[in-house]
Amino acid sequence: METLTAIQNRYTTKAYDTSRKIPQARIEQLLEGLRMSPSSVNAQPWHFIVASDDGGKARIAKAAQGTFGYNGPKIMNASHVIVFAARTDMTPRHMEAILEQEERDGRFQIEGAKEGQRRGRQSFVDIHRYEQKDLQHWMEKQVYLALGTLMLAAATQGIDTTPMEGFDFRLLDAELGLRERGYSSVVLLSLGYHAETDFNSRLPKSRLPQADVMTFI
């Protein structure tokens, strides 16, 4: 599907067809696209938990009860659900792992490039840690870049999605043992194919006009 058409057709799915599953080959392509998402200074401060069966989805749905009960069916009825988690700290071990992977991938073509990358990334992280004091917020913003990447990729494949912040992140972190692993859940994404009963699929898309949201200088 052409990219602009996919963007124009994409919408937030409210009800999923439980009889339809995303083919394995296609979900693998989408997950590889997710892995390749951009992040500031290639920090990759994330982890993704993927649920494709009822057991896995039920664990995630535990965090969508009570106040957030309206999101339960969107989790349980979708083909796949992904928990987007952010790191709770940008540790030296994580940054060294990135650097070593960059070296294996051939990123350092000239003398001193590896050390320059190490210093540059550390400097940027330190700005957010010590000067702007927004390191956690900065890492979570990178997670949303990954969310947008996957939503666009899914749209080009005719796959419906629902991003959700309406869940108890403390409960989900405990259920999945995320804090112990150095992560915390940020946002969920359901993926699949909308049901005929999905009212939102029949409504026109609505956005403010270009003149209201863009300034050309």
Q: Of 69, 87, 116, 84, give the one whose Cα is nearest residue 191.
A: 84
- The one catalytic residue in 2, 14, 32, 111 is 14
CA 101 to chain centre: 21
Asked about 32 being catalytic, the answer comes back as no
- The one catalytic residue in 32, 96, 103, 165 is 165
Asked about 165 being catalytic, the answer comes back as yes
Which residues, 6 or more positions from 7, have their beta carbon under 8 angstroms from its beta carbon?
152, 155
- The one catalytic residue in 74, 131, 140, 180 is 74
Asked about 74 being catalytic, the answer comes back as yes
Q: Of 140, 197, 204, give the one whose Cα is nearest residue 18.
A: 197
DSSP string, 84-141: EEEESS--HHHHHHHHHHHHHTT---STTHHHHHHHHHHHHHHIIIIIS--HHHHHHH
Q: Of 110, 115, 150, give the one whose Cα is nearest residue 27.
A: 150
DSSP string, 145-171: HHHHHHHHHHHHTT-EEEEE--S-HHH
Count other C-beta atoms under 10 Å from residue 117's C-beta.
19
Taken in order 145, 33, 83, 58, is the CA torsion positive or negative? positive
Taken in order 163, 168, 169, 174, is the CA torsion positive or negative? negative
Q: Which residues are tagged catalytic? A: 14, 74, 165
